[in-house]
Structure 1
Amino acid sequence: MNLDSEPINNGFIFGKKKLHNDIILVYGKNYNLGSNDIVLEHYITVNNPDDLFMGLKKCLGCFLDETSTLGPLERIHKQSNCLVKLRIEDVYFLENYLHSHAMIIHETDSYIVPDIIQSHIESNIWHEHNFIIEPMFFKQDDIRLNIFDSKMQKSTHNCIEKYVKKEKFNKNLTIEKLNVINYKLIQQFGEQIFVYIDGSVINNGTENIDGIASLHFYDKDHKLIDEFYVNIEHWISPSKAEVTSFILALIIVHNISNVEIITDNEFILNYFNEIICKTEIYNTRKLLKTQNNIYIWALIRQFIDLNEIIIPKITKTKAHDDDLYHNFLDQKIKDHYSDRNRVYSVNFNFFQLDKIEYMLTWNNIIIEKPIRRFIRYYSEILNLEKFFNLRRNRKYTIDSVEWAITFEFLKENENVLQTNFHTTKLRLYKIKNLIEEIPTVEQRKLINFDIYKDWKCPVCERKKETFGHVWRCYSNRKKMRNIIYYSIICLIEKIKEYDIYTFDEAKIIDLFINESFGEVKVNNNKLTFVDIIKGLFPKLLADFLRQEIKMTKVHLFETGVKFLDFVFDSTHKIWVERCDLQKDKEKSLGVTKEDKKHYSYDNNIVKKDINHKVYQKLSWFIRNIVIFSIF
């Protein structure tokens, strides 16, 4: 392609042209300038509207051609296939008229105008056009947008302007883009329109979670009309990405008939049909019981109740099937994770909901989950924060422990609606074991100092009995080596039970030999086997099972819990034997239960402060859990 960057004599211009009852934009060059009108030599655009340049090619003749209706003074000697007459007040400069930077492509007799985005130019023109027609629907683009004028907001009949929130201190490019797409669809003049929608999430369950919703619009011949990509913010999940694309499709085509929306999400299809068919009164109580995306579905329900949209046809396509257009949409979403220049941000105006007077928020973030579930999650997170904030847990960073397996191990497979004394007692011991609160001699000294101040380990009678010493005691060394060996065997056998995984057993054994969690030590910086005894499953081991062996989430959980149960049962026997020795010693020295009820304390113990470094880490962790629903 031969590009000539020498300036062209005159720059490109464009203007508004009335066609029937609609207004369209026409691009071209000045052909003849009159006192009140201007004749354009028509050029058509050959670029994507969101490209960082404009491609213009001379029109060879179209329905806009007015050559036959022009007077003799308006037709000059220059040959042209398509001439369009516009009013001067409706014409705009696309670039500097005297110093054009457009480049000629000689092979195709077309031009490239750099550094101009067609969609931005057109959205500004339509914004000005709408302002001229209905100026009362617009506010000053300044700080006064902070004042929410509900009467003016609710007076508009345009679903886009009504339900997509205007942002402060910008040009509302999202709303302008949605209006441009809506206008392009209107130009199909009732012909069939296909809308493909989808959404996806990457890095699910981590603080790096990210989501994009996407819409592709096609005409009756399945030629792409436009595309739209939106970033998902707060409460990111695959379901939110899908339903966001769906509500945007409904908003964009709200005033257009003969539309078919194609989705691979069966829940959206069924739930939308359920909303259409139900005639019962829907109050706030029922609204807040919606499983997810509460307010988005409330808006969709309001569209139906108030007849604000033309209900389109919804079609379900099989996910990841041979649907060419849906697969193309999937691929484009993946591409946009690395190219965010054309991904918009959309905030819906939930204050337009008639059925609810206020929004439930957390840190100014609207709670989109059922409130009871959110409160439960929030309480669990606060309790986790308290646990992390204990000084003894300062080494348990977010990345060192597979907490999901640890919590599953603590649950003891008990039915949610049932309880019994055995599992309650067992879970209580597991929790005490986790927080190192089992009654070792050093632990008893904290409340019965006068009795135990000179006592040593009841097994070896040589060293102080801390939680770590129980397992590192010289008398238990051989037992602990056997427990580590057989726990590895238990792990390997559990993986073999599934009979679908191929793996090298030696790699698992080497992992325990080379990593710190295979050693019976007390380490303030690294995870050791003592931490596994407490019920903490190493993240490094979980990653190995997940990435090297390719275990599924369910199998990983079952294997991890089985491994921790084996370690717990084996080490619990050591603790029971130790307790028997302790009881015999107390009995021989005449220590009774009544004696233990008389508390005494060591006056030399210094009270330790809160570990603020851990607290700061947890504050960040909790914020991400609540916003991104990591659990």
Structure 2
Amino acid sequence: MIDAIIKDQHTSTSFITFLPHNLQHQSILPKWNDILIDTHLQKFLTQISNCKNFESFINLHRNSKYRTHISDINWEATFQYFDSDSESKLITNFSSSYRKSHKIKILIEELPTIEHMKKACPDLFNNWFCPLCSNNILNNNNSQKETFSHIFHCPYNSRKFFILINNNKKFLLQLLLQYDKSFSLSFSSLNSLSFLWSLSSNYTLNFIDLVKGIVPKVLFDFIFSFVKNNSITLDILFQFYNNIYKEFMEFVWIPRCEIQLVLERSHNIHRKQKFIRRNSSNPRSNSSSSYNSSNVPLLLDQNSLRNSIYFGGIFWIFGTGLTIS
């Protein structure tokens, strides 16, 4: 019966006549959550998608610190940094794609530390600890778990980070002086940013966040106060951040990985073994973050986008919990 009806309609010569000239008298008012949308719809749909993605990112347990400091971070510059060494969006460059992927791993604290590898390969690394500061891989009083945070606080790396921080202080000053040699700049000029050169605090933005690619507003404003130009400020920032990434890799992460590989080979652990799919009985931790997130509210229901519609501007500017009654 149904097949016969479909067949008849398929061969039917009758069709619906559409008269578009009547549409000019029809008012179509697009709305989102009962709010009238007066911008280009395609652009607005992109904003909705970006807002949802941003909320998913910022609501991660490991990012609870950034929810607290959400208004202290220049999110636009932060996200632009991850594409800063791409020559063109129209060309696939494998080296820049790899760097971007690796930078994102640092941002989301997914570097393959020992604690991270235990989640995927508990049978191989169950009793392993930091390959740098522990006397051996067996559990003893001197053994330290290698979390993402431990990379920055490992005694073996303390001297390296001291040098890395000073190198990048100098590099930032050099970038500003290259723009204008008349600037009166010295190390003391960076005193207002002293907390950014620290590794000690879990509660304020610091050098660990710079390594992760987070751009504090105070740093953006500091550079802008000299160059008075947004695009030049971004260019200096991206050079500065890419240098931090480069030196972190050269001085800290790559040497650590080389030592780890030697230890793995000495215990007959090879690359293929680490990629064998396992059914891990270990619960997967949400984060290595030591920041207490119990009192940090989540961003929900695209409220920041709603406030952006009311007040204008970029939606993540309004991610501080502001609501409209």
User: Which string of whole-angstrom CA distances, capped at 9 and with x for unpartnered residues, describes residues 579-608 of structure 1?
Assistant: 111112111111133432142535466779
* Inter-partner Cα distance in structure 2 for 1:442 and 1:508: 39
Rg larger in structure? 1
Pairing partner for 1:399 from 55, 71, 79? 71
The 8 Å contact of residues 55 and 299 in structure 2, kept in 1 or not, is answered as no
Q: Which runs of 4+ in 1 moved over 6 A?
A: 604-608
Pairing partner for 1:587 from 265, 286, 289? 265
Sequence identity percentage = 28
Aligned residues: 277
Deviation at 1:450, TM superposition (A): 2.0
Pairing partner for 1:379 from 32, 42, 49? 49
Corresponding position: 1:486 with 2:159? no
Give the structure 2 partner of residue 360 of structure 1: 30
* Inter-partner Cα distance in structure 1 for 2:79 and 2:214: 9
Deviation at 1:560, TM superposition (A): 1.2
* Inter-partner Cα distance in structure 2 for 1:605 and 1:381: 27
* Inter-partner Cα distance in structure 2 for 1:422 and 1:626: 39
SS at match of 1:382: helix
Deviation at 1:621, TM superposition (A): 2.8
Deviation at 1:448, TM superposition (A): 1.4
* Inter-partner Cα distance in structure 2 for 1:606 and 1:511: 36
Give the structure 1 partner of residue 314 of structure 2: 630
Give the structure 1 partner of residue 304 of structure 2: 621
Question: In structure 2, do the counterparts of structure 1 residues 605 and 422 end up closer, same or farther at CA, with 3 Å as the change threshold?
Answer: closer
Question: In structure 2, do the counterparts of structure 1 residues 555 and 602 end up closer, same or farther at CA, with 3 Å as the change threshold?
Answer: same
Deviation at 1:540, TM superposition (A): 1.9
For 1:176-215, what aligned pairs fall within 5 Å after superposition?
none
The 8 Å contact of residues 179 and 227 in structure 2, kept in 1 or not, is answered as no
Give the structure 1 partner of residue 137 of structure 2: none
SS at match of 1:568: helix
Q: Which runs of 5+ in 1 are unaligned?
A: 1-282, 285-352
Q: Which runs of 5+ in 2 are unaligned?
A: 1-19, 135-142, 288-292, 316-325
Give the structure 1 partner of residue 204 of structure 2: 526
Question: In structure 2, do the counterparts of structure 1 residues 405 and 508 end up closer, same or farther at CA, with 3 Å as the change threshold?
Answer: farther
Q: Which residue type is aligned with residue 629 of structure 1? A: G
Corresponding position: 1:473 with 2:154? yes
Question: In structure 2, do the counterparts of structure 1 residues 395 and 448 end up closer, same or farther at CA, with 3 Å as the change threshold?
Answer: same
TM-score w.r.t. the length of structure 1 is 0.41
* Inter-partner Cα distance in structure 2 for 1:606 and 1:488: 35
* Inter-partner Cα distance in structure 1 for 2:106 and 2:127: 24
* Inter-partner Cα distance in structure 2 for 1:581 and 1:566: 23
Corresponding position: 1:496 with 2:177? yes
TM-score w.r.t. the length of structure 2 is 0.76
Question: In structure 2, do the counterparts of structure 1 residues 536 and 606 end up closer, same or farther at CA, with 3 Å as the change threshold?
Answer: closer
* Inter-partner Cα distance in structure 2 for 1:615 and 1:543: 27
* Inter-partner Cα distance in structure 2 for 1:522 and 1:618: 31
Deviation at 1:483, TM superposition (A): 0.9
The 8 Å contact of residues 436 and 467 in structure 1, kept in 2 or not, is answered as yes
* Inter-partner Cα distance in structure 2 for 1:511 and 1:505: 12
Corresponding position: 1:561 with 2:238? yes
Deviation at 1:440, TM superposition (A): 0.7
User: Which string of whole-angstrom CA distances, capped at 9 and with x for unpartnered residues, describes residues 21-67 of structure 1?
Assistant: xxxxxxxxxxxxxxxxxxxxxxxxxxxxxxxxxxxxxxxxxxxxxxx
Deviation at 1:422, TM superposition (A): 1.6
Give the structure 2 partner of residue 92 of structure 1: none
Deviation at 1:359, TM superposition (A): 2.1
Deviation at 1:455, TM superposition (A): 0.6
User: Which string of whole-angstrom CA distances, capped at 9 and with x for unpartnered residues, describes residues 1-37 of structure 1?
Assistant: xxxxxxxxxxxxxxxxxxxxxxxxxxxxxxxxxxxxx
Please report the RMSD computed on the Cα atoms of aligned residues, expressed in angstroms: 2.9
Question: In structure 2, do the counterparts of structure 1 residues 498 and 564 end up closer, same or farther at CA, with 3 Å as the change threshold?
Answer: same
The 8 Å contact of residues 129 and 146 in structure 2, kept in 1 or not, is answered as yes
SS at match of 1:354: helix
The 8 Å contact of residues 378 and 626 in structure 1, kept in 2 or not, is answered as no
Question: In structure 2, do the counterparts of structure 1 residues 606 and 532 end up closer, same or farther at CA, with 3 Å as the change threshold?
Answer: closer
For 1:39-58, what aligned pairs fall within 5 Å after superposition?
none
Structure with more of its chain in strand, by fraction: 1
Pairing partner for 2:248 from 571, 579, 595? 571
Higher relative CO (CA 8 A, sep ≥ 6), structure 1 or 2?
2
The 8 Å contact of residues 55 and 300 in structure 2, kept in 1 or not, is answered as no
SS at match of 1:556: helix
SS at match of 2:214: coil
My pick for the range that moved more, 426-435 or 400-409, is: 400-409
User: Which string of whole-angstrom CA distances, capped at 9 and with x for unpartnered residues, describes residues 310-346 of structure 1?
Assistant: xxxxxxxxxxxxxxxxxxxxxxxxxxxxxxxxxxxxx
Give the structure 1 partner of residue 229 of structure 2: 552
The 8 Å contact of residues 471 and 520 in structure 1, kept in 2 or not, is answered as yes
* Inter-partner Cα distance in structure 2 for 1:571 and 1:607: 24
SS at match of 2:24: coil
